[in-house]
Chain A
Amino acid sequence: MAVSTLRNVAVAILGAVVASISIDPARAQDVVRRPAASLTRPATPAKAPTADGFLQRWLVLEPIRVAGQLTESAVQTVVKIEHFPNQLTAIPRHGETVTVGGTELAWHAVDTVGYNVNLFHFAHALNKPTSNVLFWAVTIVHAPRDLSGVRLAIGSNAASVWWVNGAEVIGIYNDRQTVIDDGVSRRLTLKKGPNVIRAAIVNAGGATDFCARFLDGEDRPITGLSISLTNR
């Protein structure tokens, strides 16, 4: 039910020219909106976390319309639905599209200027819904060596479920605002090389965003990582 395609070259060039945005204006449907002020198109092959460890580079899928229920059972149900093939394993690329419920949705590579990724800005700039939606986000963190005893620490508005290298590690539910380290995984190991971090964020209404970082065994942010959006 889904088809992946590469975006055409013209769109890529246009995106590069509009340096301050990552959103493809050609995808805006009927209304031309200003680009997301907090998001830019990645301009370097790799990016380090911030001094506070926040991961600022992500691939974000345009929002999927859902019921917007935020209870644990409702969120777990909606994220377990296969909206597109290999949604828990695929490594998307910027411009790839999937079809969900007959609607073609594109992945966008973004760098956020803040500690958080503002999904409201993201969707609004695309003239996409921001309420009763599910966002998928993926990033790839390259570790210089095996890092054991670390934790993924996230915040989200609203509910979210998170996976590290395919294992579900965090679920936070109900209507909530993005608070740093709101949800924290049990101790886990980042293996040397690429590690895939995947999130599903469900918003019912209003603002929506998320943030993520890794903490070491003393709960200090880990900054010695590289984010590249590829698993190579």
Chain B
Amino acid sequence: MTRSGVAAAAALLLVSPVLALDGQPGMHDPSTVVVHESRFYVYATGGGLPIAISDDGWTWRRAGTLMQALPGGRPGPDVIARGGNNTWAPDVIRSGDKYFIYYSAPGTQPKSAIGLLVGKTLDPESPDYKWDDGGPVVWSDGLEDSNAIDPGVFRDPTNGTLWLTYGSYFGYIRLVELNPKTGKRLYPDRKPVNIAINSEASIMIFRDGWYYLLVTHGSCCAGANSSYNIRMGRAKKVTGPFIDNMGIDMLQGGGMLFLGSGGRFIGPGHFGLLDLGDDVQKFSCHYEADLDRGGISVLDIRPLLWRDGWPVAGENFKAGTYRIESARTGTALELAVQGTPVGGPRGRGGAGPGGRGGGGRGDGRGGDPIPAQDAAQVSASWPSGPTALRMSPYLLQAQQQWTITPVANAGGYPGSPYFKITIAGTDRALAATDDRELIVVPAFSGSPEQLWRIDQLTDGTYRVMPKAVPAAGEALALSAVGSSMPTLARFNSNSDRQRWLFRTP
């Protein structure tokens, strides 16, 4: 199987996103989402730079503003002098034992500045919580061909250097190198490097020898009429040139579409990478309008996939009925009961439908359509108690079809709530056992071992994990030991054992 094929199949399967996060995800111009001491933090545009915190990456709550921790509750005087008194579109990165937060402080654009805050912890409840004003880092004077807002900070994994991209529509997106110890410019006398034009919300990521510059095109701040969309180019050097899929330099307006409007969401912008490790990458963005929340601007976190050397915006898992197929073996997860052929038993060479004898009326036109099989038709002989699980070739049978449903008020993980996984048409629920195996219980109870996290991996396959296996004491993932045996094991991203596909049944 090709990974790109998997990604394409998954993208086709999941055509509309589920609700963008829970709690209070309303925000505009979010920073990169960062994890600090097992909590998720994000900062956004607004008075004093609003803080949002989540314990699980799914349910978010507002937690005051960054500027509350600064004297006067506003940017420092040098920042205001270079730019203005507004506080927009921050970004955050950890460097050594410090956090650097870069924020936009525009005056009358394009007279703007990007200020720096320096702190040791993101936790407002910590006794060490404090932000120091680091002053302005870059600015635009209102005449030059740049607008110094929308910082995006990037650490080059190849050498540990730190870089800042910035800019918004008035001319160029620019790049400067930062001092990883201070967060200020490393070479303040050097001229910034122009790397793109006519865009904003720039940020860089790196993978497999390529630097990717992601920017936002279109217009913001017009609700459902916002044309915001995220575009990208890539380069072999951090300084560019960043070229799109058609060979057009982003300095000449190029940019391959990464994400536009879709589903119930209009105007995505402000890409941020959330790399959770183990081949699980997510990206954050905001939508200008979430139609399911009255059209407000909201944060979302979605899977980040990779195909043919380009990042691809994945979809958060959507409720539905699926077959669950092992990427290792191609066999499908099923309740361990004797299957009944769809349409009823028939002989291998007989004249019935599907037999080698041709079936139907014998004239080659076939017979009447055979209806799909559901559990009500065949489950009378299934055991009523806990039942084993196994994998088998998929034959469209009822014990092989799983309904996956989000569970309310059970928490979640970045981008999604936990799900229950039940045999379609029944309440028989997939459950983890204390001995690290799997079973199907007669009814869903909502206990942690019956709640499932479904993360899409960068190749488009999925990792499936129980919320908890209390006796195991470590995170476990659904795993195929052989062709027919599902179990639980530590996730190993170098193997197909724990990669699964969710396909339409």
Q: Please list the residues of chain A having a beta carbon within 8 angstroms of any beta carbon in chain B.
A: 71-73, 151, 153, 155, 172-174, 179-187, 215, 219
CB closest residue in chain A, given B437:
A186
Chain B residues near A155: list those with CB within 8 A.
483
The reply to whether A184 and B481 contact each other, CB–CB distance below 8 Å, is yes
Q: Mark B353-394, 1 if CB is under 8 A from A, else 0.
A: 000000000000000000000000000000000000000100
Q: Please list the residues of chain B having a beta carbon within 8 angstroms of any beta carbon in chain A.
A: 337-338, 392, 435-437, 481-485, 487, 489, 497
The reply to whether B484 and A187 contact each other, CB–CB distance below 8 Å, is no
CB closest residue in chain B, given A185:
B485
> A73 to B345, alpha carbons, bound, how many Å?
14
A-B pairs with lowest CB-CB distance, top 5: A181-B482, A184-B485, A184-B482, A72-B338, A184-B481
The reply to whether B437 and A71 contact each other, CB–CB distance below 8 Å, is no
Max chain A C-beta neighbours (<10 A), residue from B337, B338, B392: B338
CB closest residue in chain B, given A153:
B482
The reply to whether A172 and B484 contact each other, CB–CB distance below 8 Å, is yes
Chain B residues near A183: list those with CB within 8 A.
482-485
15 CB-based A-B contacts, threshold 8 Å = A71-B338, A73-B338, A151-B485, A155-B483, A179-B483, A181-B481, A182-B482, A182-B484, A183-B484, A184-B481, A185-B485, A186-B485, A186-B487, A187-B435, A219-B489
Chain B residues near A73: list those with CB within 8 A.
338
> A183 to B391, alpha carbons, bound, how many Å?
9
The reply to whether B482 and A187 contact each other, CB–CB distance below 8 Å, is no
Chain A residues near B436: list those with CB within 8 A.
187
Chain B residues near A215: list those with CB within 8 A.
481
CB closest residue in chain A, given B388:
A186
List 17 extra interface pairs beyond A187-B435, A187-B487, CB under 8 A.
A72-B338, A73-B338, A173-B338, A180-B482, A181-B483, A182-B483, A183-B482, A183-B483, A184-B481, A184-B482, A184-B484, A185-B485, A186-B437, A186-B487, A187-B437, A219-B481, A219-B497
Max chain A C-beta neighbours (<10 A), residue from B338, B436, B482: B482
> A215 to B489, alpha carbons, bound, how many Å?
14
> A172 to B390, alpha carbons, bound, how many Å?
10
> A56 to B484, alpha carbons, bound, how many Å?
23
> A153 to B338, alpha carbons, bound, how many Å?
21
Chain A residues near B481: list those with CB within 8 A.
151, 153, 181, 184, 215, 219
Max chain B C-beta neighbours (<10 A), residue from A155, A172, A182, A184: A184
CB closest residue in chain B, given A205:
B348
